[in-house]
Structure formats: C-alpha cells, structure tokens
Structure 1
Amino acid sequence: MSTTQDPYATDHDTSEGRVFTVTGQDWDSITEGLAEEHDDHVVVNMGPQHPSTHGVLRLILELEGETVTEARCGIGYLHTGIEKNMEFRSWTQGVTFCTRMDYL
C-alpha cells in the first residue's frame, strides 16, 4: 500500500458546487444549459484541426463518462485576414495565401 498523496489534492472540498470557467462564443449557452441539470456532464472543445489540413472543423462534444451524448460542429474558421493581406500583395505573392486557405 502506498502512502504518497496526490500533490495537487487539497484538504477541503469546494463549497460552490459546480464551477464553470469557460466563457465567450457559444460556451455561454452550453454551460447555462448544463448548469440547470444535476448530471455529471463534461463539455470538451475538440479542434479546430491543424491549419495545414483543408477542411477545418471544430467539434463541441458533450460527454457522460466515456460516451459522447451530443456533438455540435462549428464551421467558419476560414477568415484569417487573408482577404486584407491580399490587398497589399502582388498576384504572385497572393497565390501563396490562396493555397494555404482552409475551407470545407
């Protein structure tokens, strides 16, 4: 039997119950819905995927244990200032921006 303790464990429990620290975009509506429930759900932000892959996809997964109970996909990560950058480039320089755009 080991007598070592978890270095990150504390001696007291939190008195606030469930604490959500994520904010912004669509996280607010997701956490409000989960705050009303009393089940143990975990919301995981998966993505966006690697920028060099064509077809950037962000998934918002709701987990219960190891089972995915709901998946929301978020698309629209194409705009990264490419249009504005191309205003100040020559045609030859602008082609490299177009070939690196992520699209679905």
Structure 2
Amino acid sequence: MAQSQLEKLRIRLGIKTIDQDDLLELLLEEAKDFLLTETNRTTLPVSLESTQRQLAIISYNMQGIEGQTSHSEGGISRSFEDLSPSIQKTIVQHRLLKAARYAT
C-alpha cells in the first residue's frame, strides 16, 4: 500500500501519533501552493512530492522562529537561509514558461 504525503511527512519528522495531522496537512498544502505558484503549474507533479515534504519540514522546524537569520545560545548557533540551492534547482527545473502575446 502506498503511503500518503501526510504519512511520509510524519515518518520524516519522527511523529508517531496523529495529534499534529491538522498542522502537517496545512504545511503540506502551503508547500504545494508555493510550488504550484513557483512552477506556473495547476497540478503538482509526482516528481515534486519530495520537495513538497522538504518545504513542509522546513516550515515545521521554523515554527516560532520564522525569519531568524542568526541565533547563538549556550554554544549552539543557528541561522536560516531562504531555500537551499538544491531545492531552488529542483523548483526551477519544473517551472513551466508563461506565454505572453505582445501587440505590434
């Protein structure tokens, strides 16, 4: 039996219960909306499902610290960038061109 995006996301995050499913589904939906906008698509290709999960994981891990660029406490340092180059490359590879008509 094929696992759903939600089940795969739970596994990647190490979440064994369903008590956070509403949040996880929202994060997956937001990641999907972002990918569709960035690629000019109306449906998400199967090849972008892992990227959708990666974006949802980033959002999950950034809860409460959104936009943080640097933090150091007790010898532990954190900083965040927008998106990793590998995720950016994957998105660009799936981008559809927009056709435009210019009046002459």
Fold conserved between structures, TM > 0.5 = no
Q: TM-score range by the shorter chain?
A: under 0.3
From the two aligned structures, give the one with the greater helix fraction. Answer: 2
TM-score (normalised: structure 1): 0.27
Choose 1 or 2 for highest CA Rg: 1
TM-score (normalised: structure 2): 0.27
Structure scoring higher RCO (CA < 8 A, sep ≥ 6) equals 2
From the two aligned structures, give the one with the greater strand fraction. Answer: 1
